[in-house]
């Protein structure tokens, strides 16, 4: 079997280099150029002919990333790659998983259709699976959702004294409970109502029985941070300890990270699915393990 090639879109080089190292893969060289009219040109400098290849592209700001991604995937196919995989540590457009209002686009399905046509397989981390219970509900290609509750639970058990895991909404229950089990901590789940992009109402149960514990809010995505902020407000009212705020995907819309810091939590920690100053939990080895099976590599790590 030939060595696979990993091509990283701009901004994904560190993850791509680490994956290449863990998978004993070659680092693919490419360049991108943006013309004055904002069109993009992609050039592949490492020949993918007859090779298994993957693109690393996390999908924060997806509208900017997707055109270069589609051009790169098509170019790699055109240059003779055997199969082109996509490693998207953060997979966008998963939250619009139904028409919440009449006439709305069902973007989760449309986006999945676009990517399924462009690449041969997909690896992502903790996609927002709610009304769709598996990636196979929307993606037509082999797709792996890497679960990192174990990585997060292990981090919490090392970093937090007597944690109490708090899931911010009912959707998070299964995930929060799994983090809690790994961290050896109790778990509670909040009732949340979202009334708009930045308007979130939460109701946290009485935590009096856990007054000696450190609250740890865990969510899959921190975007506007309103979910975290609403929960912090309630914890403050209950005179709880300042919480740890833990997110898988550091999406952080403009101003959101600063707003969250202003609420003075004990810590803001995220995984490195999206490069950000809050990244403290390394999930690249878990991503590599999933990519390994798509490449058809044996389970043992490479020699490097």
Pick from 20, 87, 94, 225: which binds ligand R5P (CB under 6 A)? 225
Pick from 87, 146, 222, 245: which binds ligand R5P (CB under 6 A)? 222
Here the tokens at position 201 are 């109402």
Query: Is 278 among the residues that bind ligand R5P (CB under 6 A)?
Result: no
Query: Is 97 among the residues that bind ligand R5P (CB under 6 A)?
Result: no
For residues 226 to 265, the per-residue mask of contacts with ligand R5P, x marking binding by CB under 6 A and - elsewhere, is xx--------------------------------------
Contacts (Cβ under 8 Å, ≥6 apart) of 271: 125, 148, 151, 152, 247, 248, 249, 250, 279, 281, 282, 283
Q: In the complex, what is the shortest distance from the CB of residue 227 to ligand R5P, in angstroms, rounded to a whole number?
A: 3
User: Please, which residue, 66 or 222, has the CB nearer to ligand R5P?
Assistant: 222
Q: In the complex, what is the shortest distance from the CB of residue 250 to ligand R5P, in angstroms, rounded to a whole number?
A: 10
Query: Is 52 among the residues that bind ligand R5P (CB under 6 A)?
Result: no
Determine the size of the site formed for ligand R5P (CB under 6 A).
Answer: 14
DSSP labels, 221-257? E-SSSHHHHHHHHHHHHTTPPPPEEEEEE----TTHH
Stretch that binds ligand R5P, among 96-104, 145-153, 224-232, 279-287 (CB under 6 A): 224-232
Strand order in the sheet with 214-221: 187-189, 163-167, 214-221, 244-249, 267-271, 279-281
For residues 136 to 175, the per-residue mask of contacts with ligand R5P, x marking binding by CB under 6 A and - elsewhere, is --------------------------------xx-xx---
Q: How far apart are CA 126 and CA 134, in angstroms?
A: 11
φ and ψ at 269, to 5 degrees? -135, 140
User: Please, which residue, 200 or 281, has the CB nearer to ligand R5P?
Assistant: 200
User: Are the CB atoms for 114 and 92 separated by under 8 Å?
Assistant: no
Pick from 148, 185, 187, 221: which binds ligand R5P (CB under 6 A)? 221
For residues 61 to 80, the per-residue mask of contacts with ligand R5P, x marking binding by CB under 6 A and - elsewhere, is --------------------
Q: Which of residues 176-215 bind ligand R5P (CB under 6 A)?
A: 200
φ and ψ at 36, to 5 degrees? -55, -30
Q: How far is CA 200 from CA 197, 219, 250, 268, in A?
A: 8, 14, 19, 19
Stretch that binds ligand R5P, among 106-114, 216-224, 238-246, 292-300 (CB under 6 A): 216-224
Query: Is 276 among the residues that bind ligand R5P (CB under 6 A)?
Result: no
Helix (H, G, I), strand (E, B) or coil at 84: strand
Residue 38 CA to chain centroid, in angstroms? Answer: 27
User: Please, which residue, 151 or 171, has the CB nearer to ligand R5P?
Assistant: 171
Pick from 223, 270, 272, 278: which binds ligand R5P (CB under 6 A)? 223
Residue 58 CA to chain centroid, in angstroms? Answer: 8
Q: In the complex, what is the shortest distance from the CB of residue 256 to ligand R5P, in angstroms, rounded to a whole number?
A: 7
Query: Is 292 among the residues that bind ligand R5P (CB under 6 A)?
Result: no
Q: Which residues face 180 on adjacent strands?
A: none
Q: Where are the alpha helices (DSSP H) in the chain?
A: 13-23, 62-78, 107-118, 149-159, 173-183, 226-237, 256-262, 284-295
Here the tokens at position 35 are 């013309």
Residues at the contact surface with ligand R5P, assessed by CB under 6 A: 168-169, 171-172, 200, 219-227
């Amino acid at each position: 079997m030939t060595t696979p090639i990993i091509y990283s879109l701009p901004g994904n080089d560190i993850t791509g280099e680490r994956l290449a190292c863990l998978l004993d893969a070659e680092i693919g060289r490419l360049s991108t150029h943006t013309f004055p009219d904002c069109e993009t040109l992609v050039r592949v400098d490492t020949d993918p002919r007859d090779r298994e290849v993957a693109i690393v592209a996390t999908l924060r700001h997806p509208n900017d990333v997707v055109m270069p991604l589609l051009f790169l995937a098509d170019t790699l196919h055109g240059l003779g790659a055997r199969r082109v995989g996509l490693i998207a540590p953060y997979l966008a457009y998963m939250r619009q998983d139904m028409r919440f209002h009449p006439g709305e686009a069902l973007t989760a399905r449309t986006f999945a259709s676009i990517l399924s046509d462009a690449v041969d397989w997909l690896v992502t981390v903790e996609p927002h699976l709610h009304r769709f219970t598996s990636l196979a509900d929307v993606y037509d290609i082999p797709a792996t959702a890497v679960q990192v509750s174990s990585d997060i639970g292990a981090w919490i058990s090392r970093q937090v004294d007597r944690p109490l895991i708090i899931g911010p909404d009912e959707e998070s229950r299964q995930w929060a409970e799994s983090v809690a089990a790994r961290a050896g901590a109790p778990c509670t789940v909040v009732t949340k109502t979202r009334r708009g992009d930045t308007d979130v109402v939460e109701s946290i149960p009485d935590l009096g029985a856990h007054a000696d514990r450190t609250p740890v809010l865990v969510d899959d995505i921190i975007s506007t941070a309103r979910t975290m902020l609403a929960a912090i407000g309630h914890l403050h009212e209950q005179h709880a300890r300042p919480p740890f705020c833990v997110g898988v995907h550091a999406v952080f819309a403009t101003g959101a990270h600063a707003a969250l810091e202003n609420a003075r939590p004990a810590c803001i920690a995220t995984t490195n699915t999206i490069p950000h100053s809050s990244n403290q939990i390394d999930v690249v080895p878990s991503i590599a393990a999933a990519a390994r099976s798509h490449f058809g590599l044996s389970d043992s790590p490479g020699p490097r």
